[in-house]
Amino acid sequence: MKDTTVRSRFRQGSTMPSLLDDFRTLDDQKFEESAKILQDALVAAMATSTNASDCVFAVVHTADQEGQLGYITLLKLDAVVEAARMSVATGKVTLQVLRELLPEPGKLQKAFSWPDVRAVSDAIIVDASSAKYFQAAFDVEVSPRSLEAEADLTRTILEQVPPERQHDALSKAVTLAGPLDEVLIELSTNGFPELEEAAREATESNQPAGIVRTNKVAAKPLIWRADGIEVRVPPTLMRNVEVVPDPEQQGWQIIVSTRTQPEMGV
């Protein structure tokens, strides 16, 4: 999986969870019939996209141990070289894939695996492209990646919390982990009521919130920009930066306090 921080949620009213659950107990004939339903859904979704490419579609049922219901995985495998043979025998279609037709290990473009063992997610999704047809085909919404969620959290705090309390809010956010909407709720009910509206909006969104990781908010520096100058400071040191008017020059000053002597570098 390319990004374990992405989570997903089935759309409200979707029949996909029930259909996937049925796969785990079907005989071979019913399995193939149900797989055709998923294939048709993907074909229909691909028809709405301008950049969908020909592929091999596979539905795989795996179980760690005998007797377990296991997992259902859907694979859209993009061909590297257009070369395959198809034959029909005893009522079954056999597809023989020639060498180098399928992607190399680690280069899987689109996949869907259900159920997700993570409580905050319905299914594991791998989708390397920006096109949303694969997600639309199977009635699933996918969250932003953690880097995006953590940047959104920092931006929300800087926009909504008064400057004199932003350091405290960021320091608290560093200790939290979980979906962004839950992190915002935690902050809004524990000292930062200014974030209540943002928490409500994140909770009501159709798209699942991205996962915020512990200590990762502190890893992305805050940036002050002016006249082509950039000052980058870790959130935990934002109190070391002061922006003040400079009446003499009719401009502004950025004052940075440090414990050690600054050194110039390139």
**The pair of three-digit structure tokens given for residue 205, joined into one six-digit string:** 């969104």
pLDDT in tens, the chain (266 residues): 445 568 899 998 999 999 999 999 999 899 999 999 999 999 999 998 887 777 888 899 988 777 788 999 998 887 655 455 556 666 666 655 555 555 565 567 788 999 998 888 899 988 867 678 999 999 999 999 999 999 999 999 999 999 999 999 999 999 999 999 999 999 999 999 999 999 999 999 988 999 999 999 988 899 999 999 999 999 889 999 999 999 998 999 999 999 999 998 88
Give the number of C-alpha atoms closer than 13 A to the C-alpha of residue 255, restricted to the C-beta side: 8
Q: Are strands 124-127 and 178-179 parallel, antiparallel or unpaired?
A: unpaired
Q: Which of 109, 196, 183 minimizes the C-alpha distance to 146?
A: 183
Rounded distance, CA 209 to CA 200, Å?
12
Taking the CA atoms of residue 117, residue 172, residue 257 and residue 147 in that order, the dihedral angle to the nearest 10 degrees is 20
Residues 215, 150: Cα–Cα separation, whole Å: 10
Q: Is 64 exposed, middle or buried (0-12, 13-18, 19+ CB in 10 A)?
A: exposed
Given a contact cutoff of 8 angstroms between Cβ atoms, the answer to whether 202 and 184 are in contact is: yes
Q: Using DSSP bridges, classify how beta strands 124-127 and 110-114 pair: parallel, antiparallel or unpaired.
A: antiparallel
Q: Write out the two tokens for 213.
A: 């990781």
What's the rounded Cα separation, in Å, for the pair 44 and 39?
9
Percent helix, strand and coil across the chain, each to the nearest 5:
35, 25, 40
* Confidence (pLDDT) at 131: 74
Cis peptide before 163 (omega within 30 of 0): no
**pLDDT computed for residue 101 by the predictor:** 54
Report the predicted TM-score, pTM, of the whole model to 2 decimal places: 0.73
